[in-house]
Amino acid sequence: MKNPMIDLIMSRRSIRQYSEEPVSEEMLKMIVECGIHAPTARNKQSWHFTVITDQKTIETVNEMTLAGMDRLGIKKEPGYHVFYHAPVVIFLSSAIEGFSEINCGCAIENVALAAKALGLGSVIVGQTRYMFHQANVVDVNRLLKIPEGYEHDCAICIGHPAGPGPDPKTIKEGVVDYIR
Which among 25, 34, 32 has a CA at the least distance from the CA of 49? 32
User: What is the per-residue pLDDT for 135?
Assistant: 66
Residue 81 · residue 140 · CB < 8 Å: no
pLDDT mean over 28-45: 95
* CB neighbours of residue 168 within 10 Å: 9
DSSP state, residue 54: -
Alpha-carbon distance values, 18 to 53, 91, 120, 126 (Å) = 14, 18, 9, 19
119/168: higher pLDDT: 119
User: What is the per-residue pLDDT for 169?
Assistant: 82
How many whole angstroms separate alpha carbon 114 and alpha carbon 109? 8
**What would the pLDDT profile of 57-107 be if each residue is shown by its tens digit?**
999 999 999 999 999 999 999 999 999 999 999 999 999 887 888 899 999
**With a threshold of 0.75, does the pTM exceed it?**
yes
Angle at the Cα of 22 from the Cα atoms of 84 and 127, rounded to 5 degrees: 25
pLDDT mean over 95-124: 93
**What would the pLDDT profile of 39-64 be if each residue is shown by its tens digit?**
999 898 999 999 999 999 999 999 99
Residue 90 · residue 23 · CB < 8 Å: no
Among the four given CATH numbers 3.40.109.10, 3.30.70.20, 2.40.50.100, 3.40.640.10, the one describing domain 21-159: 3.40.109.10
Where do the domains of the chain lie?
21-159
How many whole angstroms separate alpha carbon 58 and alpha carbon 76? 18
